[in-house]
Amino acid sequence: MRLAPYVFAGGTAVVTGAAGGIGAALTHGLARRGSSLVLLDRDVAGLATVAGAIRAAHPELAVTTYEVDLADAAATLRAADVLATAHPEITLLVNNAGVALAGRFDQVTLEEFDLLLEVNLRAVVRLTHALLPALKAHPGSHLVTVSSLFGLVAPAGQAAYATSKFAVRGFTEALRHELADDGVGVTCVHPGGIRTRIAADARVGSGVPAAEGEQGKRDFAKLLTMDPAKAAETILTAVERRRPRQLVGWSAVVPDLLVRLAPGSHGRLLAGLTALAGRGRG
């Protein structure tokens, strides 16, 4: 089934991780397009700031906020049940929230690994499962999952994060095929270096030496150059046009191309490009 362009005006969008970064930029972009908003985040103050700004600029729109820590499975399930009951009008779900964990697999504990999966993968699955009936009840609705550059490539030191984002990519791909006949569009987003706090807020494996962890954060932060507002506009355009996959920024496009051209030997090329980009902004 070929879907018509997604209509934002008059719809209701759920956005996770809405208190900052790409999530906050998406909420502003959605409001400008006429969507009412249901916003989730664990950052109460940040969420209130974002919601307040949108209410002031768009008083005609309904803006509802929920404090929820997606690392807490029970809290996520409770939030999912509340959303499904309180917001049957949902027409767009954006699974944007995510956390990072730096360290090789032998430098992180299984508990640290599992906590990342709880936020980046299981919360996506739980919220999507709970809200899918609402989406299916509104033909023309849309589902977005935010994977990552590391859902395309899996560099050393990102075993946990890449595992979660590759899994999100596979989950989304399957849903795209499953929902094709239900009139629900599906987009998987792969952002590259977007200027958010993901590097600064990244967890570091307990087996990573402190100095190494701090240096890794600084190196990672140098690669985060794209304005979140620009990234959000790219994502919302992809939603409107029903694109199944959206790469965001050259730092996602180039690695994706290298993986396609050299599927088994792209690691050194990527490492070289990353080092070059980091030196250029050092």
**What string of H, E and C letters represents the secondary structure of the chain?**
CCCCCCCCCCCEEEEECCCCHHHHHHHHHHHHCCCEEEEEECCHHHHHHHHHHHHHHCCCCCEEEEECCCCCHHHHHHHHHHHHHHCCCCCEEEECCCCCEEECHHHCCHHHHHHHHHHHHHHHHHHHHHHHHHHHCCCCCEEEEECCHHHCCCCCCEHHHHHHHHHHHHHHHHHHHHCHHHCCEEEEEEECCECCCCCCCCEECCCCCHHHHHHHHHHHHHCCCECHHHHHHHHHHHHHCCCCEEEECHHHHHHHHHHHHCCCCCHHHHHHHHHHHHHHCC
Catalytic: 6?
Answer: no
Q: Which of 186, 192, 149, 196 shows the shortest CA–CA distance to 23?
A: 196
The four Cα atoms 223, 95, 74, 19 give a dihedral, to 10 degrees, of 60
* Residue 130 vs residues 114, 115, 139, 143, 145: alpha-carbon distances, Å: 22, 21, 17, 13, 15
Which one from 113, 150, 161, 171 is the annotated catalytic residue? 161
The four Cα atoms 210, 211, 214, 216 give a dihedral, to 10 degrees, of -110
Instruction: Determine the residue type at 78.
Output: R
Known catalytic residues are 161
